[in-house]
Amino acid sequence: MKYIYELIGTFFLVLTVGLTVLNPDSAGLLAPLAIGSVLAVMVFAGAHVSGGHYNPAISLSVYIRGKLSVKDLGAYWLVQIIGAIIAAWIVMYLKGTSQAFPIHFDVWKAFLAEFIFTFALCYVVLNTAYSKATKGNSYYGFAIGFTVLAGAYAVGPISGGAFNPAVALGITMLDMSFCANFWVFLFANLIGGICSALVFKAAHSEK
């Protein structure tokens, strides 16, 4: 069941990204608000079952943290990818031909922006949802959603503001980003997740 929850959460996240960014009326100021909101509610809806990752970078950081098995890591990645692909297909069906132009960005500026805010996102997840010091809190979903919201506003124009390889896959399928630039998101996001987990482990002695 936890794999289904991960698929569902990733699906709704990528679906919301696609539908809001491709909609001229909601693109710009409103799109990050919708994306951050759907992530927060999906985290609250699924965290008690799967952890509410919906992001391969977060799953990797939680694995390094020691709270996810290697078997579950592989399965989470698989269902997150499937969820993103299904969402992209549905966006294509609902919206027809893509109205978006591929994102043009400076590769290394985009890499740095994606790394910084993926690090921030995973850092927030580990410290609000996977730390004994904050166990049982009722705000972790909002903290995670607002991190994505802040990142989208801050560096969206620089990188597109994915902070998530599954989202990057979705926007690439929707022609919102060039296929040749997918590696920027993939490596920046995964390295950000790794670094956040290493910082967490260095700062906390808890198991």
CATH number at residue 110: 1.20.1080.10
From residue 85, how far is each of 10, 38, 80, 90, 195 by CA, in Å? 10, 18, 9, 9, 27
> Percentage of residues in the chain with pLDDT exceeding 70?
94
pLDDT-derived band at 27, boundaries 50, 70, 90: low
- Tell me which DSSP letter residue 66 carries: T
Q: Please compute the mean of the pLDDT values over residues 157-174 and round it to a whole number.
A: 96
Give the pLDDT confidence score for residue 96 in this predicted structure: 67
How far apart are the C-alpha atoms of 48 and 5, rounded to whole Å? 10
Give the number of domains in the chain: 1
Give the pLDDT confidence score for residue 186 in this predicted structure: 98
**Three-state DSSP state, 106:** coil
pLDDT-derived band at 167, boundaries 50, 70, 90: very high
88-156-73-180 Cα dihedral, nearest 10 degrees: 70
Instruction: Check whether 25 has a pLDDT greater than 70.
Output: no
Instruction: Check whether 17 has a pLDDT greater than 60.
Output: yes
How far apart are the C-alpha atoms of 105 and 111, rounded to whole Å? 10
Give the pLDDT confidence score for residue 100 in this predicted structure: 63
Range of weakest confidence among 16-30, 70-84, 182-196: 16-30
Give the pLDDT confidence score for residue 154 in this predicted structure: 95
Q: What is the pLDDT of residues 41-95, one digit of tens each?
A: 999 999 999 999 999 999 999 999 999 999 999 999 999 999 999 999 999 999 8
Q: Please compute the mean of the pLDDT values over residues 136-156 and round it to a whole number.
A: 93
CB burial of residue 135 (10 Å; 0-12, 13-18, 19+): exposed
Q: Please compute the mean of the pLDDT values over residues 143-163 and round it to a whole number.
A: 96
Q: What is the pLDDT of residues 81-133, one digit of tens each?
A: 999 999 999 999 998 656 666 778 999 999 999 999 999 999 999 999 998 87
Q: Which two tokens stand for residue 190?
A: 């995964």
Phi, psi of 195 (to 5 degrees): -65, -40
| Residue 24 domain boundaries | 2-203
